[in-house]
Amino acid sequence: MQTTKIKTLSVLGLSLAMQAALAGNITDINVSTLPNKQKIVKIKFDSGVVSPTGFVTTTPARIALDFPATNIQLAQPVLEYADPLLNQITVAQNNDRARVLLNLSKTGQYNTEVKGKEVWIYVSEAANETTHTPAASNNYARNDFVDTPVSQAAPNNSNAAAASANIDFRKGSSTSGIVELNAPGFKGQPDIKRQADSLTVTLKNYPLPVQAQRNLDVSDFNTPVRSIVMRRIGNNTQLTIRTKGGWDFNNRSSGNRMSFEISQKTDMAMAGLSNANTNKSFKGARVSLDFQDVDVRTILQILAKESGMNIVASDSVTGKMTLTLKDVPWDQALDLVMQARNLDMRRQGNIINVAPREELMKKEESILQQQNQIEKLGPLYSQTFQLKYKNVEEFRKILRLDDSGSSTSGNSRSILSERGSALIDPATNTLIITDNNNVIRKFQKLLEELDVPARQVMVEARIVEANDGFSRELGVKFGYGGSNGRNSWGNNQATALANNNAYANNARTAFNNAMSGSTTLPTFEAFTVGNNINLPVTAATTSLALVRQMSSGLLSLELAAQQAQSKVKVISTPRVLTQDRKEAVIESGVDIPYQEASSSGATSTSFKKAVLGLTVTPNITPDGQIIMDIKVNNDTVNTTCGASEPCINTNRLETKAMVENGGTLILGGIYRERNGESVSKVPLLGDIPVVGNLFKSRAREEERSELLIFLTPRIMDNVGSTLRY
């Protein structure tokens, strides 16, 4: 019995060891939808499928699944979904364990099932707001992956997105939102720009792979952050944090990791406080002060120790004050002290100079006067600037130059000083600036910002014109005329007569040859027959004619029927490449000449255009959108108008719209439909009931046409751009 237990344990241990050894790699993740808002996440293994363990969180709503002894081999570590329940799937690696994180919009619950080489995760909305964890799963502590953020790619992923920038979002204290940006390999300082409803962070010369672009909606977290967009703009990576309401931000950086905390801004006016410091924000460490009749210089010394800053007080700073503050930022406490004693400060690095406000203003005024004297009396320098991308003529307005190239520096709005001058050389595209050293440095900085390659936009317009037509015509033709021969059939009257005449001629020729034995055959002209009654029926595509000999004449009857269908689809695709904010025009068509008479009687030749044209002026916005002024016209020649001058059928569209890079904009459509019926008949005879149908013809016509215009702009890279369709 004991031997059996040992064998059983050995087999069990061997089975577990084999299971651990057979654990493989996660190679693919797919998502399917079931009824009742349920999702199936199918995780595919190459071998050694293992059942996961995990846990569920409510704030934020997430499901974390851990696969032991498993590696990750995915092309993309983050998968985005536009789904009411499942927002994002993130995969991360920690030692020999893989974690699959399901980011939900609502608190969810799950069940797992192993099917072949796949693990199916059934995800559904939780029945209540409490956290639900399946009983079949074992929970790991939430700090197992504390050193590996869920937004990071797996270390063994060879895809380019693994080493690119990535973002993560979490909710901080006091309803603030924290956006963490990880940019491996980025060197330099980010360019941070604040706007009314967004915060834009640009990493210059740090291209982002297309598969690493992100668009996160975090409005459900109840923070000032609405959404986060990370995309590639040219050769740069741009992070746009869109906000709502009043807000402030605080950024920290450590190596390649940057953190941006967006917090709600307190409205001082609504709180009934003085609005003197409405635009100020205090971020220093909090301190508590309780002083009574203490010297101001002592208070400044204490604030210097608490803040770690160097505070230098002027000799004019004197007096005593009573102060009681509890848990306020040190910089706000310093601001209150300066307001109470009519003081002001100037900060340079970690040094703060504190002095009476009037004293600081006089000191600054003296410095400005000295600088003004230097500009008026100091030496002048000349420097040559050769422009790379801009035309030197574009700087004529900036420098207030006249047509001769001389400087009009007497204008107070000129960037040059009163003694400065500027010369332009269009042949070499060069600017020569002569001025003091301060102006030259300012112009050099200005030139670095302006003399940059202009971004280009490829605009493609698709003009689709579809025509659908149908026509039908019915009628009768009959007549009487002389002929010889017997009955004859044909596909129309002419063929019937030809058959009849050929029969008679052949018979006559054979009889004569037999009687005379001569090989010379006489020529007998056949009688020609036409319609005695010319009904208004056009030549039919198919008709049937009967020719019947009647004593000395010929009676002919011809039924005519014609039906036509036409379907035409014309697609015109004009394309044009232009620079940002530059108008581009492309036209294809004809110039129609016509004679035009003057009042004196002389004539001259004029031209009218009938072209397919596209006129567009693109404007690239800082967030990568494209605003376009658009003019599209599709003209054709009307040859049936009967006027002395050419008539042009015009389809024209003129508008202004905004679209994202690579998006398609439907500008407009024109739909036409025409239905017509007509009856042609012989007078009096065509009005006879029943019999009158032999003396009339009917025609019916239907025509439908539709015109649609599509527009697709694409921003081109400055260097080595390849346009794909």
Whether the pLDDT of residue 154 is over 60: the answer is no
Task: With CA atoms as reference, report the closest residue to 461 among 569, 614, 579.
Answer: 614
Whether the pLDDT of residue 82 is over 60: the answer is yes
Whether the pLDDT of residue 151 is over 80: the answer is no
pLDDT of residue 494: 60
297, two tokens: 């210089």
User: Cα separation of 699 and 416, whole Å?
Assistant: 81
Whether the pLDDT of residue 704 is over 50: the answer is yes
**59 has which bridge partners?**
none
447, two tokens: 């030139």
Identify the residue with better confidence: 323 or 376: 323
pLDDT of residue 618: 92
Whether the pLDDT of residue 221 is over 70: the answer is yes
Backbone angles phi, psi at 269, to 5 degrees: -65, -40
pLDDT of residue 397: 75
pLDDT of residue 696: 79
**Mean per-residue pLDDT, 81-102:** 83
42, two tokens: 């199918």
Whether the pLDDT of residue 501 is over 70: the answer is no
**Mean per-residue pLDDT, 222-233:** 88
Task: With CA atoms as reference, report the closest residue to 154 among 90, 66, 64.
Answer: 90
- pLDDT over 70 for what percent of the chain? 73
Whole-prediction pTM value? 0.42
pLDDT of residue 137: 37
Q: How many CB atoms lie within 10 A of CB 262?
A: 23
Q: Strands, DSSP E only, in 359-455?
A: 381-386, 421-425, 430-435
Element (H, E) at 469: strand 456-481
Whether the pLDDT of residue 241 is over 90: the answer is yes
pLDDT of residue 617: 92
Task: With CA atoms as reference, report the closest residue to 91 among 155, 170, 150.
Answer: 150
Q: Among the listed ranges 132-146, 315-329, 436-450, which one has the minimum average pLDDT value?
A: 132-146
pLDDT of residue 17: 45
Q: Strands, DSSP E only, in 172-233?
A: 177-182, 191-194, 198-203, 214-217, 225-233
148, two tokens: 């590996």
Whether the pLDDT of residue 481 is over 50: the answer is no
pLDDT of residue 132: 39
Task: Assess contact for 205 and 688: CB atoms under 8 A.
Answer: no
Instruction: Using pLDDT thresholds of 50, 70 and 90, give the confidence band for residue 246.
Output: confident
**677 has which bridge partners?**
700
User: Cα separation of 61 and 83, whole Å?
Assistant: 14
pLDDT of residue 479: 55
pLDDT of residue 407: 54
Whether the pLDDT of residue 86 is over 50: the answer is yes
Whether the pLDDT of residue 226 is over 60: the answer is yes
Residues 6+ apart with CB under 8 A from 274: 268
Q: How many CB atoms lie within 10 A of CB 496?
A: 23
Task: With CA atoms as reference, report the closest residue to 159 among 257, 73, 256.
Answer: 73
Task: Assess contact for 98 and 71: CB atoms under 8 A.
Answer: yes
Task: Assess contact for 277 and 323: CB atoms under 8 A.
Answer: no
- The strand pair at 97-104 and 86-94 is best described as antiparallel
**Mean per-residue pLDDT, 196-223:** 85
Give me the chain's average pLDDT, please: 75
Q: pLDDT tens digits for 536-586?
A: 455 443 444 445 544 434 555 666 676 777 777 777 788 888 888 889 888
Identify the residue with better confidence: 53 or 514: 53
